[in-house]
Amino acid sequence: MMNDNEKYIEEYVKDIPFDAPDSGHRDELKTQLLNAFPKHRLQPAVQTVGIWRTIMKSRTSKLAAAAVIMLAVLAGLHFFDRTSGIVWADVVKRLEEIKSGTYTITADIKGMPGMPEDYVTHIIQDVKLSYEQSAVRVDASVQAPNGTRKSRIYLLFEDRVLTSLMLDQKKYIEVEIGEEQMKKMSEENGDPATILKAILERDYIELGRQIIDGVPSWGIEASDPKLGTKMGSLISGGMFDELTVQLWVDERSQFPIRLFATGSSKDGKTSMKTVYDNFQWNTEIDPALLRPEIPDGFELLAQSQWETGQEAEEILDVLKLFVELGDGTYPASLKTMTVAQAIVPLLRKKYPEGSAKPDKEVLARYMKVDRVGLMYTTLEKEGKEPAYYGDKVSAESPGAVLFRWKIGDDAYRVVFGDLSTRDVTATQLAELEDALKNL
Amino acid sequence: MTVSEGEHVGLVQRACSDPDAFAQLYLMYYNNVFYYCVRRLFDRHSAEDVTSTVFFKVMHNLGSFDGTAIDFRSWLLRIATNAVNDHLRDAGRRAEAMKKVVKNGRAEFETAIDCDAELLERKILLKQALLSLKPKYQTVITLRFFENMKLTEIAACLGKKPSTVRSWLLRATAKLRKTLNTATDSRGSR
């Protein structure tokens, strides 16, 4: 029985008209849903639903199921030492078997080179990755204070060519990648399989079970700045001093559902929050989408090469830019972000509005800055014991060690403040580095 | 389109992995979800946005649904309720919605709907009054008076006890009536 108030409301709302559904929106949404339909993610769910129904309808197994649910809840509450409902090695295996995937990377980065201090740059990247076609395409948009910059990057593993299109400027850059470097990139191409393997290689922690977008998921986390080398172009190696990566995997499909990465530099000037989501696995990707398409009227801005084994020399070439363009004050560290931030004011000074643009060879040298962090971590990984003292040493201290790396047993190559080089023994190096204390 | 209970269960199961089945299910329920959203939000564009959110959530979580056609509608409305409440939770958005009511209420509806002045006036007052209630009260009012759901159905939809829903409904209708009366009186005295 209704009371007076209910009768009043019922009478009040009677006949009040509302907007009718719009067939245009209905059809558009249908198209969007079908385009995003996670066929392969949900296919195993069909079988699981059936099994789940059987389990829940069987009286004897209900209690067991409830116990499992409670264990999962308690694990999620961190009451116990964390153990996982996921066999991570199996997830790696499943990921290694996928043929293609698409996902979105959204990043907020403070301290991007060329941006105002404290400005948080919002970057969105739509990634299409096909192992079958050995290709990656990334459509990126970067929200800068003066508008959004759009770019498109194609990487063809077999052709060893990376093509970057700057869509607004109608320019493009081609980088020919050396065979060794290409092998490395295809092994560490920033996809979730690579990232998960990298997390498992570290002292990781289990995060337990959580509901992500309504989906029960299990998480894993590791902190290590070197994880950046596994994360592709956006968070390339050595960009940050601190880096924590969390990967969440759908309990049912055992495929990644979300990835969070946070990074920061020691001086607090740069920080980053990144989310990978909208994962779809084994979707069909039209081969035409992965082939570099240079639209008419686009100008080739620069062509460069990316060889491996020359990392230290390449870093030295980047350091030379600070003498050529500036007063020989070097970047405080060889993190990509730090180097890029240090070089931006020098480039602005050298190329004011309206001045002649640098030629292709010069641009190719500038582009090496992008890879400095990655090159430095490669030296570390290969046991070449690199060390860099740009925070203390400038061109004004010609005899002080600026940069060094190991070139053989008991042999190190030292780059001094004036960028001259000398090969020394470990004992000599110790003496030279001891002298840095007096600076 | 009507389907039998058995067909509906089969359709939901197939829709987990078959895009065509999912499209069929979507078309069956699009209007339900849109109407629920537009009656909660009083704005076509917000309702369409939230409807989109609802169906994406449905698509991703369909595998976890296990029930009858009635349960499915209830499950769908629960997702829609959460999505609408999330939308309204943004205090700024809510304040903006209220501001729009006061400033452009009439113009907003006049352009959208061809209806008589009295109904239009009532709709504006209802929007103001409903949006001033707590989301849980807005929810029970909409489910009860627009979706014509029984107390037990609302309880099942919201995952609450019928006694809880009963007390929410009592409070919600009392508050809504009081607000509507005050607003009607103040308009009448202008």
* pLDDT tens digit sequence for A71-82: 232 233 232 233
Q: In chain B, what residues touch A13 (CB-CB under 8 Å)?
A: 126, 145-146
**Residue in B14, B19, B34 closest to A39 by CB:** B19
State the count of interchain CB pairs (< 8 A) between A and B.
Answer: 116
Which strand (E) or helix (H) includes residue A142?
A: strand A135-144
**Residue in A8, A19, A42 closest to B17 by CB:** A42
Looking at residue A425, its pLDDT comes to: 93
**Residue in B31, B55, B61 closest to A214 by CB:** B61
pTM value is 0.49
Residues A288-321: tens digit of each pLDDT: 898 888 888 888 877 766 666 788 888 999 999 9
Looking at residue A54, its pLDDT comes to: 29
Q: In chain A, what residues touch B174 (CB-CB under 8 Å)?
A: 5
B172 in Cβ contact with B145 (< 8 Å): no
Residues B54-96: tens digit of each pLDDT: 998 898 888 777 777 778 888 999 999 988 988 887 645 555 5
A215 in Cβ contact with A345 (< 8 Å): no
- How many angstroms separate the CA of residue A104 from the nearest CA in chain B? 16
- How many angstroms separate the CA of residue A176 from the nearest CA in chain B? 40
Q: Would the pLDDT of B33 be above 70? A: yes
ipTM greater than cut 0.90:
no
- How many helical (H) and strand (E) elements, i.e. helices and strands, does chain A have? 13, 16
Q: What is the mean pLDDT of residues A373-394?
A: 87
Are A53 and B66 a contacting pair at CB < 8 A? Answer: yes
Mean model confidence pLDDT for chain B: 82
Percent of chain A residues past pLDDT 70, beyond the cut: 82
Are B31 and A21 a contacting pair at CB < 8 A? Answer: yes
CA distance linking residue A105 with residue A107, whole number of Å: 6
**Residue in B17, B30, B60 closest to A43 by CB:** B17
CA distance linking residue B108 with residue A301, whole number of Å: 51
Highest mean pLDDT pick, A110-114, A336-340, B8-12: B8-12
- CA A152, A158, A159, A160 dihedral sign is positive
Are B13 and A46 a contacting pair at CB < 8 A? Answer: yes
**Residue in B14, B57, B176 closest to A9 by CB:** B176
Sequential DSSP letters for A222-245: EE-GGGGGGSTTTT-TTS-SEEEE
pLDDT band at A231 (very low <50, low <70, confident <90, very high): low
CA distance linking residue B148 with residue B161, whole number of Å: 18
Looking at residue A53, its pLDDT comes to: 32
- How many angstroms separate the CA of residue A127 from the nearest CA in chain B? 20
Residues A183-227: tens digit of each pLDDT: 666 665 566 777 787 888 787 888 888 888 778 888 888 888 777
Mean model confidence pLDDT for chain A: 77
User: Which residue does chain A place closest to B142, by CA atoms?
Assistant: A13
Pairing of strands A147-156, A215-223: unpaired
Q: In chain A, what residues touch B112 (CB-CB under 8 Å)?
A: 19
A2, A4, A13, A284, best to mutate vs chain B, most B CBs in 10 Å? A13
A8, A29, A284, best to mutate vs chain B, most B CBs in 10 Å? A29
Residues A248-279: tens digit of each pLDDT: 988 888 888 898 888 887 777 778 888 888 88
Are B61 and A215 a contacting pair at CB < 8 A? Answer: yes
Are A15 and B119 a contacting pair at CB < 8 A? Answer: yes
Q: In chain B, what residues touch A18 (CB-CB under 8 Å)?
A: 35, 38-39, 42, 113
